[in-house]
Amino acid sequence: MTLSPVQQELAITVVKVLVLFNALLGLFSVMTWAERRLLAFMQFRLGPNRTGPIGIFQPVADGIKLFFKEELIPAGANKWVFVAAPALAVFTAFLSIAVVPYGGTITLPRFAWMPAWLQGREVVLQIADLDVGLLFIFAISSLGVYGIVMAGWAAGNKYTLLGGLRSSAQMFSYELSLGLSWVGVILLAGSFRIHDIVAAQAGGFWRWNFIQQIVGFAVYLVAATAEVNRTPFDLPEAETELVAGFHTEYSSMRFALLQMAEYVNMITVAAVGANLFFGGWLSPVPFLPDSPLWFFAKMFAGLFFFIWLRGTLPRLRYDQLMAFGWKVLVPLATLNILVTAAVVAFHPFAR
C-alpha cells in the first residue's frame, strides 16, 4: 500500500488521536480510583480495596454500575440542553489537550513488518503543533464553562442553577488570572507555541520557569485549581449548600461524562503546568537524557498535588473566593507581567 505524504501524515495523526484518547480514558478511570485511595490514606481510611488486588478494578465496577443505572431526565428539564451539556463538557475537555505536547520528537524503530515510510520516521509527540497553542487552550477552556452552565440551567432545579451560575462566575474570574499567569512565560520564550516555551527552558532545572516566574507559577497554581473546580475552590458542588451543584440531576452515564470532563480538565491543567513551568520533557540535570517519561513524572506530580490539596484544605466561602480572585490574583499577575516585560524589554540578554 502506498500513501501520499498527506495521507501518511493523516494516518499518523489519526493513530496519535486514538492513542491519546484511549490513554486519557484509561487515565481518567485510574485517577478516580487513585484519588479515592489516596484521600482515604490521608484520612486514615482504607478506600476501595475489595475489587481486585488493592482495589485496582474499582473503576471497572463503577463503570458497570453506572451503565446499568437508570438514566433520568427530570420532568421540568429542557431535554435537548440537558442531553447536550455533558457531551459539550467532554468535547471541550478533550479538545484542549490536543495541542499539549507530551514529549519532543521520537524516531520510530525500523522493524521489518513496518511499511517503508514508517521506518525511522520522526514523529512529534503531540496531536497538533499550533503556532498559537496556548491561546487555543485558553479559548477552548473558556468554552468549557458552557457545559457546566448548560447542565445547571437545563435541569430546571434551583440548586443546579445556582451551582451552574456560581461555577460560571468562578471560572470566568479565575480564567483571567490563568491567562495572565501565562503571559510572563510567553514573554520569556517569545512565542505562544508550547514547543518553543519548553525549548526555552533547556539546560537543567535551574532554567525552568517556575524559578524565574515564581509569581506566575503561584498564580497559575491557584487559578488552575479554581478553573477545574477542585478543593478548596469546589464551590459549584458544595454539598452542604447546593446538594451536588450543577450535576445534581444527572445520573448514569451522563453523570459519568461530567465526571470525565472534570478529570480530563485536571489532567490538561497538570500537563500544561508541567510544560510551562517545569520544562516539559526536559531532564532536570544535563547528564540525563530528555524523555517523555520526565513529562509524565511531572504531570503525575501535579495530579497528586491536586489530590493532596483536596485531602488537606477546607472549602472557601463564595465571597472569599471572589475577593481573592479579583483583589489578589489579578493584581499579582499583572504586576508579574509588568516586571517580566520590563526585564525582557530592557535586558535583552536575560535569556
Partner 1 sequence: MITVILFYVFAALAVAAALVVVAQRNPIYSAFGLIVTLCSLSAIFGLLGSPFIAALQVVVYAGAIMVLFLFVLMLLGVKEEDRTSGRALKAVATALALTLAVEMGVVLVGAARPAPAAFDASTRTVAQVLFSAPYLYAFEATSILILAALVGSIVLARRDA
Q: Where along the sequence are the contacts to partner 1 (CB under 8 A)?
A: 81, 130-132, 135-136, 138-140, 142-143, 145-146, 149, 153, 161, 164-165, 168-169, 172, 175, 192
**Least distance between partner 1 and beta carbon 111 (Å):** 31
Q: Which three cell numbers stand for residue 211?
A: 524559578
Which CB, 153 or 220, lies closer to partner 1?
Answer: 153
How far is the CA of 247 from the CAs of 50, 99, 141, 226, 259, in angstroms? 28, 28, 19, 17, 9
Which CB, 77 or 149, lies closer to partner 1?
Answer: 149
Which CB, 99 or 270, lies closer to partner 1?
Answer: 99
**Residue 156 CB burial class (10 angstroms; 0-12, 13-18, ≥19):** middle
Which CB, 286 or 331, lies closer to partner 1?
Answer: 331
**Least distance between partner 1 and beta carbon 7 (Å):** 12
**Least distance between partner 1 and beta carbon 47 (Å):** 37
**Least distance between partner 1 and beta carbon 341 (Å):** 13
Which CB, 171 or 258, lies closer to partner 1?
Answer: 171
Query: What are the φ/ψ torsions at residue 234 (nearest 5 degrees)?
Result: -90, 40
**Least distance between partner 1 and beta carbon 143 (Å):** 6
N-to-C CA span, the chain: 48
**Least distance between partner 1 and beta carbon 324 (Å):** 18
Nearest Cα residue to 304 out of 270, 258, 264, 259: 270
**Alpha-carbon gap, residue 250 to 125, rounded angstroms:** 36
Which CB, 21 or 138, lies closer to partner 1?
Answer: 138
How far is the CA of 124 from the CAs of 102, 236, 338, in angstroms? 9, 38, 34
Which CB, 153 or 277, lies closer to partner 1?
Answer: 153
How far is the CA of 229 from the CAs of 225, 259, 327, in angstroms? 6, 11, 19
**Least distance between partner 1 and beta carbon 168 (Å):** 6
**Alpha-carbon gap, residue 205 to 284, rounded angstroms:** 4
Please name the residue ranges forming H helices in the chain. Answer: 5-42, 58-68, 79-96, 133-154, 158-189, 194-199, 209-212, 214-227, 239-242, 252-277, 292-312, 318-324, 330-346
Which CB, 193 or 310, lies closer to partner 1?
Answer: 193
**Least distance between partner 1 and beta carbon 348 (Å):** 17
**Which residues make beta-bridge pairs with 78?**
none
Number of Cβ within a 10 Å radius of residue 348: 8
